[in-house]
Amino acid sequence: DAGVTQSPTHLIKTRGQQVTLRCSPKSGHDTVSWYQQALGQGPQFIFQYYEEEERQRGNFPDRFSGHQFPNYSSELNVNALLLGDSALYLCASSGWTSGALVATDTQYFGPGTRLTVL
Amino acid sequence: DAKTTQPTSMDCAEGRAANLPCNHSTISGNEYVYWYRQIHSQGPQYIIHGLKNNETNEMASLIITEDRKSSTLILPHATLRDTAVYYCIVRVAAGTASKLTFGTGTRLQVTL
């Protein structure tokens, strides 16, 4: 059973360019969340996609946008790149699993895409 | 989501149990305690989660106090490969679009 996969592994862009990162969720999962992790910090939530719609969004500007496809895979797009966008971008997928009392949607992370903006 | 407090760093000798504490005094009744770890430059790895009962899986044990205001993650026999940053996170149960809010975590160093 393949876990969460992300592509590319590494990416180098220059300021002002646009970038697209891709994520394939774990088999059986229908929800994808994106996080940004700057060097030395914990991951920060960008947004979450479910049923091809953005369901929740963190404190990130509109330059950050996403998409979810019918097969549940997802893309993260960042426009007008800034030096401060250099970070590890993480994708996490989740789906419903039944527990003893309530269902919980544990998020499983991919290996990340390392974006460097020069 | 409730905030958590963890020590910045801890050391543990290989083969010994590693006990990582977490305070979450403002946790709500519908919030779970989750633990993840992140080995350098890799994606966070899910370890375990619980609501109010102690939990154990193949990786670790989670002990939650009766008042749910704190918890301890136990790695029973730490190895060098357990060296990582460990994050304690509280989040609402499923049914809402619940993000994970990461703090700074505990940097666990396992030594020979």
CA angle, B48 then A31 then B46, to 5°? 15
Q: Which residue in chain B is spatially nearest to A4 when comparing CA positions?
A: B43
d(CA B95, CA B83): 34
Nearest residue, CB atoms, B94 vs list A58, A105, A111: A105
**Higher per-residue confidence, A31 vs A88:** A88
Is the four-CA dihedral B91, B92, B95, B99 of positive or negative sign?
A: negative
Sort out which chain B residues have CB atoms less than 8 A from A107's CB and list them: 46, 100
Candidates A38, A21, A23, A47; CA nearest to A109 is A23
What pLDDT, on a 0 to 100 scale, did the predictor assign at position A5? Answer: 97
Whether B52 contacts B32, CB under 8 Å:
no
Q: What average pLDDT does this structure show over A3-30?
A: 95
Tokens 């994050």 sit at which residue?
B87
**Higher per-residue confidence, B78 vs A1:** B78
What pLDDT, on a 0 to 100 scale, did the predictor assign at position A100? Answer: 47
- Output the CA–CA distances (angstroms, integers) from residue B31 to B26, B52, B61, B93, B95, in the order listed: 10, 10, 18, 6, 12
Candidates B45, B35, B88; CA nearest to A108 is B45
The tens digit of pLDDT for each residue in B15-61 reads: 999 999 999 999 988 889 999 999 988 999 999 999 998 999 999 99
Q: Which residue in chain A is spatially nearest to B98 when comparing CA positions?
A: A56
